[in-house]
Structure 1
Amino acid sequence: MVFTVPLRVLLLGIVLLSCIQSVVNEDVDMNTLTRIQKFFHDNYYNGGQYAVATNVPQQQCRSGFYPTRRNFLTLDPSATVKPLIQRDSMYVYRGTELIAAGVHRDAHSEHLLMNPPNTSPLTNLMNTNRDGCVVFYTLNSPCISRCLNNNYINNIIQGLNKLNAYQGIKAFVFSNIFTNDQNSQNLRTELQKIADRVPLYRCNYGSCILCGQPGSNIPVIDQCLIT
């Protein structure tokens, strides 16, 4: 069969659209994410609450990648980052592929990285590579009373919307349930606000689990609510 030029153009367009769609819908490899979270803990944990976000090449979020100090975030070393994200500091580390913040009584780590939404450290980081891999990690889950509260002026909902619009691989990751929320009856509903926008993972003790993701009819799973 001989195709006319318009039909060839149409078929090419379909192929290109399929390729773009597959990139947009690609998820981080779970085993690689486990190793990335361990890298964060080994290199940036300073004894208290902190949050980091990275924007790295997609290959570094795919199967078979093993992050080390020689091949991952090499321009954002531990010795430079950790002293700047101490408790009760409002400072935000803005690096080449990494942003990071500690916690302040008036501004939690997630807020410091995600606000104001249009010019936040996270938005600026995502703009440096629009089709890379963005992993947002917080040691403790975002608090219900502020970060996930639609009525609180400094919530992170708009920041999550910005992350949702990112065209590359993306993930929101936490390890522990925030202390004040451990007995909340609304925990599942509140964490669902994240999962409805960005694939939500819990990584701890050398493994990661998918808590929930956009477009799924399955609510945040029980394993992500255990304290």
Structure 2
Amino acid sequence: MVCAGVLRGLILFCLFFSGVWGVEKTLDQNTLAPAIKFLRQNYQPGQNQYAIAFNAPVDKCADYLDNNFLNRYPGRTVKNALNSAGRLYKGQKLIAARPKPIPDTKVNQHSEYLLMNVPSVDTSPMKELLGNDNTGCVVFYTYNSPCTSTCTKPGGCYSIIQALDMFKDHKGPKAFVFTQVWKYDCDKDISTNLKEVLERVPLYRCKDNNNCVACTANNLKDCM
């Protein structure tokens, strides 16, 4: 005979993994909204562009994403790293970057590129973060949408498109999130570029009012 407490636990366990995540294991936009708000309040270096990603234990990603596991990463510590010459913070469960000037040029390595491609895709901070927990909830957040001139330019030297393939192998819930369209792309149709992202990882936009929407193949222009 199975005692009532154990039976109840088994039922909840089954409901959690069959109902909350379903087959696709995607994050709900209502779950993402407070998480993105937390990231911006604690880690955003002013109004500057930055990208940040975390890999949370899956049991902290039910109806509300529990941010307590991030308490080991104080905002001041992360911001100090982002404002340093390296423009990079690397923790076991959280990584972040700001655009980094390339010496003797007027060009920056963009924050998304620094997290996914440097020093290489296979040895990047993002690849390592994903490998720390292959079933965890992974959220990659960039304040501005990845730019069309470099980040999402197919075949470009500083493109992140191929690097995004690393998300396909991740078994847990995952999301790529941005807040505003990069200012130099505001007069462009960036739906084709966003589609490249969407084909590799679920895509969301969380605006400044903390309203999040899931970007799909049918509403990419609305997400702009």
Counterpart AA for 1:41: R
Contact 2:137 2:172 in 1 (8 A): yes
Determine the C-alpha separation between the residues in 2 that align with 1:154 and 1:24: 33
> Number of residues paired by the alignment?
197
Determine the C-alpha separation between the residues in 1 that align with 2:212 and 2:139: 13
Unpaired segments ≥5 residues, structure 2: 1-16, 101-106
Q: CA deviation at 1:23?
A: 6.3
Alignment of 1:31-50 (within 5 A): 31-47=30-46, 48-50=48-50
Structure-2 change in CA distance of 1:153 and 1:23 (3 Å): farther
Contact 1:23 1:169 in 2 (8 A): no
Alignment of 1:10-25 (within 5 A): 25=24
Structure-2 change in CA distance of 1:34 and 1:183 (3 Å): same
What's the secondary structure of 1:52's corresponding residue? Answer: strand
State the Cα RMSD in Å.
2.0
* Corresponding residue for residue 113 of structure 2: 111
Determine the C-alpha separation between the residues in 2 that align with 1:172 and 1:65: 15
Q: CA deviation at 1:109?
A: 0.3
1:82 equivalent in alignment to 2:79: yes
Contact 1:29 1:61 in 2 (8 A): no
* Corresponding residue for residue 219 of structure 1: 218
Contact 1:192 1:219 in 2 (8 A): no
Unpaired segments ≥5 residues, structure 1: 1-17, 213-217
Alignment of 1:95-174 (within 5 A): 95-104=91-100, 105-115=107-117, 116-174=120-178
Taking structure 2 as the reference length, the TM-score comes to 0.82
Structure-2 change in CA distance of 1:100 and 1:145 (3 Å): same
Taking structure 1 as the reference length, the TM-score comes to 0.81
Q: CA deviation at 1:157?
A: 1.1
Contact 1:59 1:65 in 2 (8 A): no
What's the secondary structure of 1:157's corresponding residue? Answer: coil
Counterpart AA for 1:197: R
